[in-house]
Structure 1
């Protein structure tokens, strides 16, 4: 919602479409970094509480981090496509 509003505002003024796309890509990267950091911190806390299940916790953490990276990459690509349009 916020990204759509920012892109509309940036595209309404000629020449600022790339600025809106760059802002959107930055927001996507920031969100992905915060999400993966939260997952890593929670996984380390879980491993500290139950060290015997560290293998399954690490596997789940890596899978979820990869999914977040995929969504972030998709978001950045969409922003770059908007910038070139």
Structure 2
């Protein structure tokens, strides 16, 4: 029979770099703002363009979708860890 005490003990938490963890946490906490911010900026610019040209929400929708696509691209780029400088 297996020893219950030995099997029920949690393994010790791995010791890591606390600064590295804080840096990763800050990067992850930034992602929603990148995504929402790009959509808001795109839709806002589209709204102003629509208002100036007298069109219905064509540009607001178009630039909002482009902002969403750009935000998703940036989120995926950050999560994959690929940077322009090779890091």
TM category, shorter: 0.5 to 0.7
1:28 equivalent among 2, 20, 31: 31
Could you give the per-residue CA deviations for residues 30-69 of structure 1, whole angstroms, max 9, x where no partner exists?
A: 23322321211111121122233643x2324312321222
Structure having the higher helix fraction is 1
Counterpart of 1:47? 50
1:3 alignment counterpart: none
Larger Rg: 2
The residue correspondences of 1:8-27 to structure 2 (distance < 5 A) are: 14-16=16-18, 17-27=20-30
User: Please, what is the CA RMSD of the aligned residues?
Assistant: 2.4
Give the paired residue count. 64
Which structure has the higher relative contact order (CA within 8 Å, separation 6+)?
Answer: 1
Alignment of 1:68 onto 2:71: yes
2:17 partner SS: coil
Q: TM-score, normalised by structure 2?
A: 0.52
TM-score (normalizing by structure 1)? 0.52
- The answer (yes or no) to whether the contact 2:42–2:64 under 8 Å persists in 1 is yes
